[in-house]
Amino acid sequence: MFDGVPKSVVLASLLGLIPILMGLVSTFNIGLNAGLKEDFIRIALIYSGFILSFMSGCIFYVASLERERVLLLWFSIIPVLLALLSITVPFMQSFVLALGFLVVLEIERKLHKRRSLPKWWLSLRFPMTSIVVVLLIFLGFRI
């Protein structure tokens, strides 16, 4: 699943799922009071927005290294705009964030084709993005 990815990168990536998982778990009836439950959900969504913006910044940097990637440089701004949009549409917040992660993955796929990323990059990013998108979608259907 994570072929060729450095173990420290896998570990840091998997640990990065904890805040989103905590938000999702809090949506189940596990005895948390409503205020704490909402706090965990809000933390998960804010954290997802931060990570989305971080990933967008990473793409921006890689795309800025060579002139032929100028279009990807401009596309790298879209996930940040989606993170900001998610703040203004609270009823669809996690779905907008999930869309942002999919945009990041598509840009990374284009950069990988141009050999701008390490060979192992998509071996990490595809499963991690898939997990994050699924978690955010489930979080979006919370009641």
User: How many CA atoms, within 13 angstroms, populate the side-chain half-sphere of residue 33?
Assistant: 2
In the chain, where the domains are located: 7-140
Stated pTM of the model: 0.92
Kindly report, residue by residue over 52-77, the tens digit of the pLDDT.
Answer: 999 999 999 999 988 778 888 899 99
- State how far the alpha carbon of 60 is from the alpha carbons of 51, 67, 87, in Å: 14, 12, 22
Kindly report, residue by residue over 1-46, the tens digit of the pLDDT.
Answer: 898 999 999 999 999 999 999 999 998 888 889 899 999 999 999 9
